[in-house]
Amino acid sequence: MDNQETIVQRAVINEPMFDSKTGEFGKGYSPDYGQTFIVQESVEGRIYHQETDAGRISELIFDKLIFRSDDGTLWELSVSNDGKPQTKKIEKSEEKEKES
């Protein structure tokens, strides 16, 4: 240990913080001991991040998924009993119901 610096690392898990990318405040974690912060829970609920959560979410089974196209249109994607993909445009009245 002579002539070597001791590096102290502290796990940052489920602590109040500001997200490094979005600036949003909430509880989250730091994957690199405080260099960056990722908020997972805010006053609006659970926050999912495509970069870190996509692999975890893809292991779950869903009846349908909702996607937003580049122009902001919402689309519902599901699969028929014979395995064919089915899409349905979500109309504005349905969109408001899904947000509440």
What confidence category does residue 56 fall into, taking pLDDT thresholds of 50, 70 and 90? confident
Residue 28 CB-density burial (10 A; 0-12 exposed, 13-18 middle, 19+ buried): buried
Please indicate whether residue 45 or residue 9 has the higher confidence score (pLDDT). 45
Please give the average per-residue pLDDT across 65-81, as a whole number.
Answer: 94
Say what the pTM is.
0.53
pLDDT band at 66 (very low <50, low <70, confident <90, very high): very high
pLDDT band per the 50, 70, 90 thresholds, residue 83: very high
| Mean pLDDT taken over the chain | 86
User: Which secondary structure element, helix H or strand E, spans residue 57, and what is its range?
Assistant: helix 50-57
**Positions of E strands within the chain:** 12-18, 25-30, 38-42, 45-46, 65-68, 74-79, 85-89
